[in-house]
């Protein structure tokens, strides 16, 4: 006989802070994905997002929709 756990109805509180610099006063956070980045799959503030994006290779940058191919 398998006993299934009851689903939890508690609200989960998410932290609204940058994963890199831990700032909590950022107006916007963006989800960053880079295959070789330490901060892949994290929410980053504008400053940290730009720093991490600039460290990507040219082919990885071209995968982003807002980046113009050179």
Query: Looking at the domain assignment, is residue 58 inside a domain?
Result: yes
Range of the domain at 62: 14-70
Query: Looking at the domain assignment, is residue 5 inside a domain?
Result: no
Query: So what's the pLDDT on residue 43?
Result: 87
Query: Looking at the domain assignment, is residue 18 inside a domain?
Result: yes
Query: So what's the pLDDT on residue 62?
Result: 79
More confident residue, 31 or 6: 31
Give the model's confidence band at 66: pLDDT under 50 very low, under 70 low, under 90 confident, else very high.
confident
Task: Count structural domains, the chain.
Answer: 1
Query: Looking at the domain assignment, is residue 7 inside a domain?
Result: no
Residues 6+ away with beta carbon under 8 Å from 55: 34, 37
Query: Looking at the domain assignment, is residue 36 inside a domain?
Result: yes
11-59 pLDDT per residue, tens: 766 678 888 888 888 888 888 887 777 777 888 899 998 898 888 888 8
18, 45 Cβ separation under 8 angstroms: yes
Give the model's confidence band at 7: pLDDT under 50 very low, under 70 low, under 90 confident, else very high.
confident
Query: Looking at the domain assignment, is residue 3 inside a domain?
Result: no
């Amino acid at each position: 006989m398998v006993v299934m756990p009851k689903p939890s109805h508690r609200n989960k509180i998410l932290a609204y802070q940058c994963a890199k610099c831990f700032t909590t006063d950022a107006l916007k956070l963006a989800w960053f994905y880079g295959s070789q980045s330490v901060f892949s799959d994290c929410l980053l503030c504008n400053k940290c997002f730009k720093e991490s994006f600039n460290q990507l290779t040219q082919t990885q940058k071209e995968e982003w929709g807002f980046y113009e191919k050179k």
